[in-house]
Amino acid sequence: MSISCEDVCMLFLRILRNVLVYPKEHPLISQGVESLMEFIGEHDGLIIEVNKGYLYVNSDRVGITAANYLFLRLLIQSFNTLGVGEVECLGGLVEKEHLYGFFSAMAKATDYEELVSLMDREGIAGIVVRPSPEDSKEWVREKARKLYFHTIKVVRSFFETGEVSPVKMKAAASYLLDLLRHSEEALLGLTIIKNYDNYTYNHCLNVAILSLAMGLRIGMERRLLVSLGAGALMHDIGKVKVPIEIINKPSKLDDSEWKLVRRHPVIGSLIVLKNWGISKETSLILEPVVEHHLGMNYYGYPEWLRTRETPLMAGIIHIADFYDAVTTPRVYHKRTFSPMEAMQYLLDNAGVRFDPILVKVFFNVMGFYPVGSIVKLSTGEWGVVVEMPSHAPYFDKPVVVLAANSDGRPLPPKRMDLKGTDVTVAGVSNQSLWNVGLDPTKLALCPIEEQ
Q: Of 229, 237, 191, nearest to 313 (Cα)?
A: 229
Domain ranges of the chain: 5-133, 149-366, 374-444
Residue 123 backbone class (left: φ over 0; alpha: ψ -120 to 50; beta: rest): left
Say what the pLDDT of residue 136 is: 54
Find out whether 75 and 40 touch, Cβ atoms under 8 Å: no
pLDDT of residue 451: 42
Torsion angle defined by CA atoms of residues 390, 391, 397 and 403, in that order, rounded to the nearest 10 degrees: 0
Task: Mention every residue, 6+ apart, whose C-beta is less than 8 A from residue 309.
Answer: none
pLDDT in tens, the chain (451 residues): 578 889 999 999 999 999 988 988 998 899 999 999 999 988 888 999 887 778 889 878 888 888 888 888 899 989 988 889 899 998 888 889 999 999 999 999 988 889 998 998 888 988 989 887 654 566 778 888 888 888 998 888 888 887 767 778 888 888 898 888 777 888 898 888 876 556 788 889 999 999 999 999 898 888 889 889 998 998 888 877 877 777 776 677 777 877 877 787 778 788 878 877 777 777 777 788 877 667 666 666 665 555 566 678 888 999 999 999 888 877 656 678 899 999 999 999 988 888 999 999 999 899 889 999 999 998 999 989 988 876 655 678 888 899 888 887 888 888 888 887 888 888 888 888 877 778 888 888 887 654 4
Question: Which strand (E) or helix (H) includes residue 51?
Answer: strand 45-51
Cα–Cα distance measured from residue 77 to residue 352, given in angstroms and rounded to the nearest whole number: 55
Give the contacts of 116 (CB within 8 A, at least 6 positions apart).
Answer: 129
CA distances 14 to 27, 103, 120, 391, Å, are: 11, 10, 24, 42
- End-to-end CA, the chain: 57
Beta strand pairing call for 45-51 and 84-90: antiparallel
* Domain 149-366: CATH class, spelled out: mainly alpha
Task: Return the closest-CA partner of residue 188 out of 167, 159, 226, 217.
Answer: 217
- State how far the alpha carbon of 189 is from the alpha carbons of 14, 86, 446, in Å: 42, 25, 11
Query: By the 8 A CB rule, do 327 and 338 touch?
Result: yes
Q: What local confidence, expressed as pLDDT, does residue 319 receive?
A: 93
Other CB atoms within a 10 A radius of the CB of residue 136 amount to 8
